Structure 1
């Protein structure tokens, strides 16, 4: 594919100021270049912010129902292109077809959900102390919002940031991840065709150090929303807050599933395997620690190993589990596997690169299970971002909660139990922003808040649902005497 995808700025598809190109490979077949994108400059990013700032007041003044109509129409256009978008997502990111198809549907649902919310934005009426006075609040957009999104959910995460930002009346600049920017660009295409005013959304491809830094630091930017690694997230937070901007960061996780001695072990193994091996483990909410009661430990390990060894690995278009997104991600996962073995963990399943003609050239790794894990091992403390599950044996419920909390992250956590008291104590005591009972750590509803504790989040603003709108609005209190 020789055509270079352009940036979307002020309603036009425009050439970057640079001649540099990002080539996106198919991670299942790296010799195949799926698409080319511009490696944009600081000047390109500045132009995008200035375009957003120029239209921000007009877009904010657009009635909420009209903003909602545009979002609804964009969602309908995405639905008409669902198969095309799924194929593009699989080709660029490597995700299995069923997972990619579900992610595209999530983006469609998000646009339709926030299309209705746009008409509901208002405020509250309060009783004044004075006579002859009205006392009420109104919600207004914050202004220009910068969105910096990751590659692992390349359409869902841009959608769940973009839809509430636009619904609330903000002008937006978006930098998608360079590894898989195609589907985010298609969001812009759908919104453009749906009638979004020029400049209300601007999309620029390029590096975080160039485009992302300008999107964070520019004086015209009022709010920054970032999803990515904890290390980069801390830098984003510091840069944004130093210049007085509103900021939310959603970062990494080291998510546990506790398996009680009252659990159905086969069901627990299904839950852990789905949570840890789904999306090739490349999810911030993926289960990477199974914390298992000693009474069911051996049985659970056998069940989990069986599931790991039965997973069908290959190109995402045709197989159950696709590749990792890049050579660097594969190398990192294999390095963590090596570290775990060096620290004394026992490799119970996987641990290497699969063999076969369909997987010989891609960034594939086997679903991996480690046992004999101490909680202070790196494999039990650090985010791997690959299909690797560490199984930790515990003696009772209290120890399971202590181990679950014994990490610097706190994004998602689950418990598999038939004990009602255990379930409720776990909800109360676990340090995580998302808590599930008898369910996998992955998978989120779009109409409830999402965010983490500790290093998993800035702990400032939640995403999705009404909380997602809160980040993109600011309240004004009105005293109207007459």
Structure 2
């Protein structure tokens, strides 16, 4: 499981709603869900620019804190301080490859795993490894047309989740047919998949066999069995069978 999951943003009607969905997809649980969006693919143009500006603005207000803090935070810490440092190292590596920082991730306090979200523009970066960064770090790519967006979304060895924010049903129908992923959502967060629904991926994310409740189907050995504790001659025999004149040997 896990993946370098893409979320495509194609001219949303409601920018704040699109930002909310993106934050839910990328930063919930401090980005520590296997279906979290790691790559954000945004269409070039004024609408995409306005969306990104608002995303950075709202994400900058996310302050991680302890689970029992008051007021209650949107996100807490990562699983360990080392995990937080790993995310910071990944961000620094992206910048070294030519990425532009839109929102710098910061460790809130040394010795803790509390890390603010980071957003980086990757369009100018080179030799970017296809790896999952398990934390609140979102990488942004820009695209010109929807075919290019799908090609970018599928350009990964993983294949767990993929999503689209768009008012256009025909765009989602195309993604649904062409996406190389086990979970494909439209105007819904990539996170929050129910265990009552099929859950799985392709490539390095799985074997395209549905997990969750459905895992019992492929973890079991399918077998048919007819059983009875006693063996008796049927009262009615098939045509052509003649058992007359024989000795019946029955155990006491």
- Asked if 2 retains the 8 angstrom alpha-carbon contact of 1:416 and 1:438, the reply is yes
Q: Please give the alpha-carbon distance, in whole angstroms, between the structure 1 residues aligned to 2:63 and 2:106.
A: 15
Which of the numbers 298, 310, 326 marks the counterpart of 2:80? Answer: 326
Which of the numbers 359, 365, 374 marks the counterpart of 2:115? Answer: 365
TM-score by length of 1: 0.44
What is the aligned partner in structure 2 of residue 253 from structure 1?
A: 3
Question: Residue 366 and residue 257 in structure 1: after superposition, are their counterparts in 2 closer, same or farther (change >3 A)?
Answer: same
TM-score by length of 2: 0.83
Larger RCO, structures 1/2 (Cα 8 Å, 6+ apart): 2
- Greater Rg by CA: 2
Name the structure where strand makes up a greater proportion of residues: 1
- Establish whether residue 389 from structure 1 lines up as the match of residue 138 from structure 2: yes
What are the residue-to-residue correspondences of 1:125-164 with 2, within 5 Å? none
Name the structure where helix makes up a greater proportion of residues: 1
Find the residue that maps to 2:177 and give its secondary structure.
helix
Q: Aligned-pair distance for 1:258?
A: 0.4
Q: Please give the alpha-carbon distance, in whole angstroms, between the structure 2 residues aligned to 1:404 and 1:257.
A: 8
Which of the numbers 311, 314, 320 marks the counterpart of 2:62? Answer: 311
- Establish whether residue 442 from structure 1 lines up as the match of residue 191 from structure 2: yes
Q: Please give the alpha-carbon distance, in whole angstroms, between the structure 2 residues aligned to 1:472 and 1:343.
A: 43
Q: Please give the alpha-carbon distance, in whole angstroms, between the structure 2 residues aligned to 1:281 and 1:400.
A: 23
Question: Residue 322 and residue 291 in structure 1: after superposition, are their counterparts in 2 closer, same or farther (change >3 A)?
Answer: same
Q: Aligned-pair distance for 1:471?
A: 3.0
- Asked if 2 retains the 8 angstrom alpha-carbon contact of 1:375 and 1:392, the reply is no
- Asked if 2 retains the 8 angstrom alpha-carbon contact of 1:308 and 1:350, the reply is no
- Asked if 1 retains the 8 angstrom alpha-carbon contact of 2:25 and 2:37, the reply is yes
Q: Please give the alpha-carbon distance, in whole angstroms, between the structure 1 residues aligned to 2:123 and 2:131.
A: 13
Q: Considering only aligned residues, what root-mean-square deviation do their CA atoms show, in Å?
A: 2.0
Which of the numbers 211, 221, 225 marks the counterpart of 1:474? Answer: 221
- Asked if 2 retains the 8 angstrom alpha-carbon contact of 1:280 and 1:323, the reply is yes
Give the gaps of 5 or more residues in structure 1: 1-250
Q: Aligned-pair distance for 1:271?
A: 0.9
Give the gaps of 5 or more residues in structure 2: 228-232, 235-252
What are the residue-to-residue correspondences of 1:74-85 with 2, within 5 Å? none
Question: Residue 350 and residue 477 in structure 1: after superposition, are their counterparts in 2 closer, same or farther (change >3 A)?
Answer: same
